[in-house]
Structure formats: structure tokens, C-alpha cells
Structure 1
Amino acid sequence: MNISQKTFIGWSLAILPILTTVIWMYIWMGVGGDVDSATFLDNIAENATINKLLISIAAVSFTFIVASYVMFSRGVGADSDNPFLGNLVALLLLISGTINLVGMNAFVSALSYHGTEPAEALTVLIANSGDLGVTDIIFGIGLLTLGRAIRDVKNKLEPAILLNIVSFGFLITGIANIVNVFAMQDILGMISWFGFVIFTTLLGIAVIRSKS
């Protein structure tokens, strides 16, 4: 991993998950509110331009997170006697990340159509805003595999306690993601997302601190 790649991966993973979370919490909880889908879309569409800009920033940030994970995972595979796990992580997170980005794009499209075709806009929003499904299972398997893969590399994350925290953190977060698809419990949803944010941030810090 060269200096430019290390810098991009490290800072993207350390900062952008927090930025993305702040934006989404503002949009979903602050602006949209705990209401039915039609009212939710109406609330966000009241300041459509600003909110589309914020969603776009979140989408670009998430794109950089996914790209960083793919590059990091490929590096993990290259630095391991068994490159299969690292390469598998890269593919799983790329697939699930791409599907999530399609949903974000649909959200922006729904806001764009809301003024002229509100019924169609609502349909687009509902069709693309499902929180649970096969995407979350793929994402969970990816995190599970990542938690295992980073323990197999020759140049391990340091210090060892950080490696253990990140590794087991991804294992727990991955399991929570998968189980939540079937259990649909708020606490599991919170563990899934905030676990991803916390351990991704710690991984980014570890990459920044690493010597190679």
C-alpha cells in the first residue's frame, strides 16, 4: 500500500462514516420524522434542493467508503497466504455498497419528481427504501469475513488490542446485520449501523497509524 492509497483509505474510513451518519440522521429523523412515507417525503421535499445536496454528499461519502474498503480488502488478500478471504470481502462489500448507492440515487430522484408527479415519487421512494433484505445479508457476510481476514495478514494492524477490537467488532456487527434481517429489532439495527461506523472509524485510524 503506497502513501497516497494509505492516506485515502485511512482518512476516508476514519471520517466519512461519521459524516454520512450525521447527514442521514438529520434527513431521516430531523427533517423526515417518524411519520408515514407520504408525509416523510413531503417534509423532505419542502427544502428539496438543500436536502438533495445533503443526500448527494452522503452518497459520495459512502462511495469513497466502499472504494476504500475494496482497496483495503484487496490489500489484505495480497498480504495473506490465503488471498481468498480478502478478495471475497472486496466483492461482497462492492456488491452491497453498489445496491445501497442505487437506493440513494432513487431517493434523490423521488425528490426531483415530487413536485410534478408525487404519486410516482412516493412509489420510487418506497420501492427503494427497504432497510432489510438480501443486501444486508451480503453486507453482514462481508463484515464477518473482513473480521476474519484481517487476522490472517502478515503485516497485522497495531497495536494488537486495536486489531482484536476491530476484528471482533466486525464479527459482531456482521452477525447483527444478518440476524436483524429476520428479527427486525431496533436494538439490532442500531448495533448493525453504529457498529459499522465505530469499527470502520477505528480501522481507518489503524490504517493511518500503520507503517506500511
Structure 2
Amino acid sequence: MSGVPVYFFSPVSPPDFLQEKAVTKASLEATVDPAKVQGWITQIGSDTSAAVPLLQAIQSEYGYLPRKAMNLVVEGTEINASQLFGVATFYAQFRLDPVGRHMIKVCHGTACHVTGADRLNTSLRHALGIEDPKEDTASNGSYTIENVACIGCCSLAPVMLIDGEAFPNLKGADAQRHLVKHAKTIGEILPGQTGEGDDQAADEKEK
């Protein structure tokens, strides 16, 4: 494979959803260490059966699947680009876009869904200034919102996690207040957060 150019994405008219994100997201791109990727290949294997564990190792390290890391896997294994991309897009556990510095996970299991998980998303997205429904990360790279399946706190629904800390029995305004407090504690800026008034508005919309 050495000496042969590898294109993870087609150089001719790639689909819109595979294009690079806006410049505001550029700072989120991970710096990939080729030696580390090669180490995973050596440890895990280079045949097609290694695709999933290799992708898991990459995402565990970087929080998502950087294009450069995937190209390195294609160059250094028997897995071709179509196979690797097919695996990456088939399993919901993998993501191709960079994540923010902090992760918000909103539970959308049955109990949380019926008690207002969608309202948590609306309130959080408002605070983070995320208007595009296809986006899940604040423009300044501070937070990423991820919808997850049941996290095992059904009696406390609806629930969200911020950097692994659970916040139960939430309304939309509660979620926003916890996010504002978290951001202030760690010195992050919320692009869409405009103060306590927005928190109140979130609850008013629920009535």
C-alpha cells in the first residue's frame, strides 16, 4: 500500500455532509499521532476483522474519528476506505465530527422521553446558541450535546450528564441553570446564554 495516495473522501464532489465544518470548528480538530495509530494496528491487527476495535481505540483517544487517523488505518492495514467508512457510519457509537471540550449527555430512554427530554435539548441548545438541527456542538467548541439511550436512572427522569455528573428530575430551565453554573465554574463561555431571563422562559414554554 505504501506510495499509493489514499483518499478517505472522494476528491470529486464529496457529499455535503462529509465536507469540513465551519472555521469555528477547526480548533476542535485533534492532533493525530501516527505512531499511536500504528501502535494500535500492531496491537489489534491489520485484517478486516480489526476495523471495529481499531475505530474504538481511535475514538477512545480523540473523542471522535479524525480523518487523518482513519487514513492511517487504511494505509497501514488490509481494510480499504469503503469498508472502514461503512463500519464507522453503521454503528451509532462512532462519530466523525469533533466534540466540544465538555460533553452533555441527555437521556432519551423511555422514562426520560415521556417526561420531557426533548425540552432539555431545546433549553440546552438555546443556551449554547446551536440553531442548526444538524449541529450538536457550540460554535466556540465549549460543549457538545449528545442524545443517549437509557442511563439507568429511570426513577429520576428526565436526566442529563455533564462531564459524567448526573442531574436528575429536570425541567428545561433546570437544565439550563445547571449548564450555566457548570460553565461559570470552569470558565467556559456559552454563546447563546443571555442570563436568568432565558431560564425562566424555558419553563414558561413547558406550561
TM-score, length-normalised on structure 2? 0.24
| Higher Rg of the two aligned structures | 2
* TM-score normalised by the chain length of structure 1: 0.24
| Greater helix content | 1
Q: Which structure has the highest strand share of the two?
A: 2
